[in-house]
Amino acid sequence: MNFLLTEQQRLIQNLAREFARREIAPLAARADQEAAFPMVVHDRMRALGLANLTIPTAFGGDGLGVADLALVTEQLSWACAGITGAVGINSIVADVFHLAGTEAQKRLVFDRLRAGGWGAYAVTEPGAGSDVAAIQTRADKRKGRYLINGSKVWISNAPLAAFFIVFAKTDGAARHGGISAFLVDRDTPGLRLGKSMGKLGQRAAPAGEVFFDSVEVPEDRRIGAEGEGFLIAMKVFDRSRPMVGALALGLAQRALDEAVAYARQRHTMGKPIIEHQAIGHKLADMAVRVEASRLLVYQAASLVDAGERNTLQAAYAKLFAADTAMHCATEAIQVFGGMGYSTEYPVEKLFRDAKVLQIYEGTSEIQKSIIARELARQ
Ligand SMILES: Cc1cc2nc3c(=O)[nH]c(=O)nc-3n(C[C@H](O)[C@H](O)[C@H](O)COP(=O)(O)OP(=O)(O)OC[C@H]3O[C@@H](n4cnc5c(N)ncnc54)[C@H](O)[C@@H]3O)c2cc1C
């Protein structure tokens, strides 16, 4: 087992680290306050080669792996999990086509992403989140086309997206086996955006409702076979969960860094608070969890690149890193005392940004159920 990064990985990690500190960190608080994604960040990421990393070279992309994506995501998320999360959705969209797209679909979508376009990934509905098989949105086939009717909620990047990956039932009587995936353009008649959701954290990443009223989609916009949608979504999770783990890891590292810096300079009872055992032990506990998250995330991502099944390891990484982010952000506030509660310091934002990491891309409870199911298979 090799725990060392390649020279190329070190270079891109350093590039992302410098970019995050120089270009994202100064904008993060304002993007959070205004709940607005700073488009200039995406433009600069594209110019530097830090966006859409996994698009294959055959389609004009960098052809980097999921481990490379995790390294970059970790660094960017250190500066802002919201901004990084929004950009990450485009990687999830690309994953769908990696796994199930036709050549023509790949060409279309990868070109759009490379040109700076945004995609969105629409599974969740008011009545179906963890229970994906309960989705009600329907895609009924009529004369070689599909008519999509239904609604989605919590769709990240919906207000920015030029196109959507929409999961809908082609067989309403079936559960998992009745779901199919479609590529639907934003400007298709009958597709309407609802309100943007007000959010506790990751406020720079917009999320919204999407409504479908007899939206016509040609057959060549179906992704994969009819009924294959659930399988595609599960395979996408194996690639996306290491990335979301990396998002959590970057945030947790930031919480640790802020807490250590503050604990070194804040004095009480005649010494820096880092020298009070209660505080020193908190920091030690945070540091161990961050490092363990890093190993789990890198492992889960590297397995994808090695072509190995990683469902169990992806669940480990997502669960542990998300819980670590929440733990570290909570403890960072405690280390800061009253100032941790102030919007003048960055740790309250980390706390708000961390929570959703335990909810999206499969809740922590669902990750535990996956782990238990995988253990039962062994
Ligand atoms: C900021 C944000 C961005 C999002 N972005 C997207 C997006 O881009 N695309 C998209 O499709 N969705 C997105 N989502 C939706 C997200 O994936 C769902 O919120 C998540 O899967 C949970 O579903 P739910 O909200 O319906 O909760 P529910 O499924 O109703 O769960 C409620 C609670 O019950 C628990 N629970 C449910 N079922 C079980 C079970 N079988 N065993 C144990 N516990 C269970 C859950 O863990 C949770 O604690 C986003 C959500 C948020 C908050």
Sign of the torsion formed by the C-alpha atoms of 55, 57, 62 and 66: positive
Residue burial 110-127, b: 16+ Cβ < 10 Å; e: rest: bebbbeebbbbbbbbbee
pLDDT digit string (tens) for 192-219?
A: 999 999 999 999 999 999 999 999 999 9
Tokens representing residue 68 in the block? 């490379």
Q: Alpha-carbon distance 4 to 10, whole Å?
A: 9
| pLDDT at position 378 | 84
Question: CA distances (Å), 7 to each of 1, 4, 12, 18, in order?
Answer: 17, 9, 9, 17
Q: Are residues 112 and 131 in the same domain?
A: no
Number of domains in the chain: 3
CA–CA distance, 226 with 122 (Å, rounded to integer):
17
Residue nearest to atom 35 of ligand 1 (CA): 365
Q: Going by CA atoms, what residue is nearest to atom 18 of ligand 1?
A: 129
Same domain for 208 and 286, yes or no, is no
Within this chain, do residues 266 and 279 fall inside the same structural domain, yes or no? yes
In-domain check, residue 2: no
Q: How far is the CA of 109 from the centre of ligand 1 (A)?
A: 27
Mean pLDDT of 345-366: 98
Q: Is the CB of 129 under 6 A from ligand 1?
A: yes
The CA dihedral of 23, 26, 30, 36, to the nearest 10 degrees, is 10
**Beta-carbon contacts of residue 279 (< 8 Å; ≥ 6 apart):** 263, 273, 335
Residue 178 lies in domain: 120-229
To 10 degrees, what angle do helices 311-336 and 229-265 make? Answer: 30
pLDDT digits (tens, 9 = 90+) for 129-159: 999 999 999 999 999 899 999 999 999 999 9
253 in Cβ contact with 259 (< 8 Å): no
Contact present, 256 and 347 (Cβ < 8 Å) = no
**Same domain, yes or no, for 96 and 138?**
no
Residues in contact with 314: Cβ distance below 8 Å, sequence separation at least 6, in sequence order: 237, 238, 241, 242, 245, 300
Q: Are 249 and 351 members of one domain? A: yes
Residue 197 phi, psi dihedral angles, 5° rounding: -80, 135
The domain that holds 105 is classified in CATH as 1.10.540.10
For residues 187 and 147, what is the distance between their CA atoms, to the nearest angstrom?
Answer: 15
Task: State whether the beta carbon of 263 lies less than 6 angstroms from ligand 1.
Answer: no
Closest to 138 measured CA to CA, from 150, 126, 130, 127: 150
Instruction: Check whether residue 208 and residue 273 sit in a common domain.
Output: no
Tens digits of residue pLDDT in 335-350: 999 999 999 999 999 9
Does residue 247 line the site of ligand 1, with CB under 6 A?
A: no
User: Which residue lies with its CA nearest to atom 41 of ligand 1?
Assistant: 366
Grouping H, G, I as helix, E, B as strand and the rest as coil, residue 159 is coil
pLDDT at 3 over 90: no
Pocket test for ligand 1, best of 326, 359, 368 (most atoms within 8 A of CB): 359
* Domain-terminating residue out of 188, 208, 229: 229
The answer to whether residues 223 and 292 belong to one domain is: no
Where in the sequence numbering do the catalytic residues fall? Answer: 361
Distance from the Cα of residue 281 to its chain's centroid: 31
Residues 312 and 256 placed together within one structural domain of the fold: yes
- End residue of a domain, out of 213, 229, 245: 229
Is the Cβ atom of 360 under 6 angstroms away from ligand 1?
A: yes
What is the rounded (10 degree) CA torsion for 208, 209, 213, 215? 40
3-state secondary structure of 183: strand
Do residues 360 and 248 both lie within one domain?
Answer: yes
According to DSSP, residue 24 is labeled I
Q: What percentage of the chain carries pLDDT values higher than 90?
A: 98
CB distance 122 to ligand 1 below 6 Å: yes
319 domain residue, yes or no: yes
**371 is a domain residue:** yes
By CB atoms closer than 10 A (0-12, 13-18, 19+), residue 38 is buried
pLDDT confidence of 1, banded at 50, 70, 90?
low
According to DSSP, the residues that pair with 223 across neighbouring strands are 181
Task: Judge whether 1 lies within some domain.
Answer: no
Nearest Cα residue to atom 44 of ligand 1: 365
- In degrees and rounded to multiples of 5, residue 50 shows phi and psi of -105, 0
3-state secondary structure of 53: coil
Ligand 1 geometric centre to CA of 265 (Å): 40
User: Looking at 207, 229, 251, which one is the last position of a domain?
Assistant: 229
| pLDDT at position 274 over 90 | yes
**Which stretches within the chain are classed as H helix?**
7-19, 25-34, 39-48, 66-79, 81-100, 103-114, 229-265, 277-305, 311-336, 347-355, 364-377
Residue carrying the six token digits 């009872």: 269
pTM of the model: 0.97
- List the CATH number of the domain containing 308: 1.20.140.10
pLDDT at position 2 = 72
pLDDT tens digits for 78-116?
A: 999 999 999 999 999 999 999 999 999 999 999 999 999
Structural tokens at position 155: 């769709």
154 neighbors 130 (Cβ within 8 angstroms): no
- The answer to whether residues 169 and 182 belong to one domain is yes
* Pair 32, 145 in one domain: no
Mean pLDDT of 255-267: 98
Mean pLDDT value across the chain: 97
Could you tell me the end-to-end alpha-carbon distance of the chain, in angstroms, rounded to an integer?
Answer: 22
Cα angle: 97, vertex 98, 99; to 5 degrees = 90
Same domain, 22 and 44: yes
